[in-house]
């Protein structure tokens, strides 16, 4: 996660605010300021915990462990981008769910839908798709992408002969439309 380092003269509150806009990483604020208002402001700006000096190393370690436990137990937030029609992409498990039921994609089909979902509304040529899918030698007559698209359409399109999610743009490539028939 690239983000700029704090500017000179900025404080922990500014850093917390900036970090929270870009990540859900657990934040434990350590500060010499221990007044209630300081703790409240720190927590409201996005810190998960606040520890005022002086503190013991044992308390610091216990709070860090608690933060990490909560972070690991929290389910990953589902991005709206990962949902289309009745489908939801579960990136952690590398599967596509339709109304909470696994669609049963092969690894190659999963890789393709992930690439398409990450680039909605953009026409992707076969060459671009092959580059994004990595590791495939190609020749000018390679139909690997077309076969993957056809197999994926059979699994996700209501009518594969008239696709609404993965559309063909004649002479160019494929376009993923998460809105389906509405878009």
CATH number at 146 reads 1.10.10.10
Rounded-to-5 percentages of helix, strand, coil across the chain:
40, 15, 45
Are residues 99 and 119 both part of a single domain? Answer: yes
Closest by CA to 100, choosing from 117, 86, 82, is: 86
Domain limits at 160?
A: 80-182
Instruction: Look at residue 85 and tell me if it is in a domain.
Output: yes
Looking at the structure, tell me whether residues 27 and 85 fall in a common domain. Answer: no
Tell me, yes or no, whether 39 and 54 share the same domain. Answer: yes
Predicted confidence (pLDDT) at residue 71 exceeds the cutoff of 60: yes
3 is a domain residue:
no
Dihedral of alpha carbons 102, 104, 106, 110, sign: negative
Q: How sure is the predictor about 137, in pLDDT bands with cuts at 50, 70 and 90? A: low
Compute the CA torsion angle 111, 164, 179, 109 (nearest 10 deg): -10
Number of domains composing the chain: 2
Asked if residue 4 belongs to a domain, the reply is: no
Residues 136 and 84 in one domain: yes
Position 133 pLDDT exceeds 60:
yes
Do 65 and 89 belong together in one domain?
Answer: no
Q: Residue 97's beta-bridge partner residues?
A: 88, 102
Do 22 and 108 sit in the same domain of this protein? no
Does residue 51 sit within a domain? yes
Structure confidence by residue, pLDDT tens digits, 80-126: 788 999 999 988 889 999 988 999 999 999 999 999 999 999 999 98
Q: Can you give the pLDDT at residue 74?
A: 61
- Structural domain contains residue 96: yes
Answer whether residue 32 is part of any domain.
Answer: yes
Give the mean pLDDT of 161-181: 93
pLDDT at 138 over 70: no
* CATH label of the domain that carries residue 28: 3.40.50.2300
Provide the pLDDT confidence category of residue 127 given band limits of 50, 70 and 90: confident
Q: Is the pLDDT of residue 177 over 90?
A: yes
**Which pLDDT does position 64 carry in this prediction?**
92
Is residue 50 over pLDDT 80?
Answer: yes
In a domain, 92, yes or no: yes
Residues 122 and 148 in one domain: yes
Q: Are residues 172 and 107 in the same domain?
A: yes
pLDDT in the model for residue 135: 58
Q: Are residues 120 and 87 in the same domain?
A: yes
Specify the higher pLDDT residue, 37 or 141: 37
Measured at the CA of 123, the angle between CA 121 and CA 128, to 5 degrees, comes to: 125
At residue 1, does pLDDT exceed 50?
Answer: no
Q: In 23-56, which ranges are continuous DSSP H helix?
A: 36-44
> Is 131 a residue whose pLDDT tops 50?
yes
> pTM for the full model?
0.57
pLDDT in tens, 2-17: 455 666 667 888 888 8
């Amino acid at each position: 996660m690239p983000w700029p380092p704090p500017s000179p003269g900025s404080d922990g509150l500014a850093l917390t605010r900036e970090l929270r806009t870009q990540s859900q990483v657990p934040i434990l604020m350590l500060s010499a300021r221990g007044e209630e208002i300081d703790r409240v402001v720190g927590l409201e700006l996005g810190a998960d915990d606040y520890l005022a000096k002086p503190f013991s190393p044992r308390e610091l370690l216990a709070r860090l462990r608690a933060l990490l436990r909560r972070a690991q137990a929290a389910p990953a937030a589902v991005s709206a981008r990962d949902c289309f029609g009745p489908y939801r992409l579960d990136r952690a498990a590398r599967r596509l769910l339709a109304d909470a039921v696994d669609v049963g994609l092969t690894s190659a089909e999963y890789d393709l839908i992930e690439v398409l979902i990450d680039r909605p509304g953009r026409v992707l040529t076969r060459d671009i798709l092959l580059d994004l899918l990595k590791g495939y030698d190609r020749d000018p007559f390679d139909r690997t992408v077309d076969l993957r698209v056809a197999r994926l359409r059979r699994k996700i399109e209501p009518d594969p002969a008239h696709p609404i999610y993965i559309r063909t743009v004649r002479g160019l490539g494929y376009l993923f439309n998460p809105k389906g028939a509405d878009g």
